[in-house]
A and B are shown apart, each in its own frame.
Chain A
């Protein structure tokens, strides 16, 4: 059974903290994505990666960075968390050439106090 896992379902952090969100997929997919989902705004792409050590900015990269040292793992980093980064964060992966069919993890609900 294919799977995308995220390190935490719920996370509470304080303003200014450095936050790491981890995502692991077991499908040997080349492409990995980080989205945030807020009510009424749908899923907004933060960053994506189409290969190890490669990354591309999405639509809202400000305040975030990513790391992809291994094919199966894609990390989202909030260098200095702010309250406006309180959101649901979703990780997804897809096979090369099939960017349309993404498999999503369960999400991490991050609250920044």
Chain B
């Protein structure tokens, strides 16, 4: 089966940089995704890494190391609206099943 580990909570200051980590164990790995979910809202897709390295989209960057079964999401120039839960998810198997981690709750403070 698949398993993913994420820290449960992170607190960071507005304007700063925060890194949220994800380690996984799976077979038939295709890639690692990141989703954002505000309280009371639905998850929304942020990024996907299939290959090793860093992918950047505006203030958000996502990194993957397939050999280490590890990835992270980096948020720069933090804003109060970034306070949310962030989930990593692995895509694996012949039918591209997606398995989510338990999420990291990010609190941005002034």
A contact set with B: CB distance below 8 Å: 31, 33, 35, 40-45, 48, 50, 56, 58-59, 90, 92, 97, 99-107
Specify which of B44, B50, B100 is in contact with A43 (CB 8 Å cutoff). B100
Q: CB < 8 Å: which of B8, B30, B41, B99 contacts A45?
A: B99
Q: Are A56 and B97 in contact (CB under 8 A)?
A: yes
Chain B residues whose CB sits within 8 angstroms of the CB of A33 once the complex forms: 98
Q: If the complex has contacts A42-B87, A45-B98, are A103 and B45 also in contact, measured as CB distance less than 8 A?
A: yes
What residues of chain A lie closer than 8 Å to B35, measured between beta carbons? 102
CA distance A6 to B6 in the complex (A): 29
Of the candidates B8, B50, B95, the one having the most CB atoms from chain A within 10 angstroms of its own CB is: B95
The answer to the question of B102 belonging to the interface, with a C-beta cut-off of 8 Å to chain A, is yes
B45 touches A102 (CB 8 A): yes
List residues of chain B with CB under 8 Å of any chain A CB: 1, 8, 30-31, 33, 35, 41-45, 48, 50, 87, 89, 91, 95-103
Assess whether A100 is in contact with B33, with CB atoms less than 8 Å apart.
Answer: yes
Which B residues are CB-close (under 8 A) to A92? 43
CA distance A50 to B1 in the complex (A): 20
Pair A99/B96 contact, Cβ less than 8 Å: yes
Q: Can you list 13 pairs linking A and B with CB atoms under 8 Å apart? A: A42-B103, A43-B87, A43-B100, A45-B97, A48-B95, A100-B48, A100-B98, A102-B35, A102-B43, A102-B98, A104-B43, A104-B44, A105-B42
Contacts of A31 in B (CB 8 A): 96
Partner of A41, one of B31, B42, B50, B102: B102
Nearest residue (CB) in B for A42 is B102
CA distance in complex: A58, B1 (Å): 10
Residues in A neighbouring B50, C-beta threshold 8 A:
100
Q: Which chain B residues border A90 with CB–CB below 8 Å?
A: 42-43
- In addition to A92-B43, A100-B33, A100-B98, 13 A-B residue pairs with Cβ atoms within 8 Å of each other are A31-B96, A40-B102, A42-B100, A42-B103, A45-B100, A50-B96, A90-B43, A99-B95, A100-B30, A100-B89, A101-B33, A101-B45, A107-B42
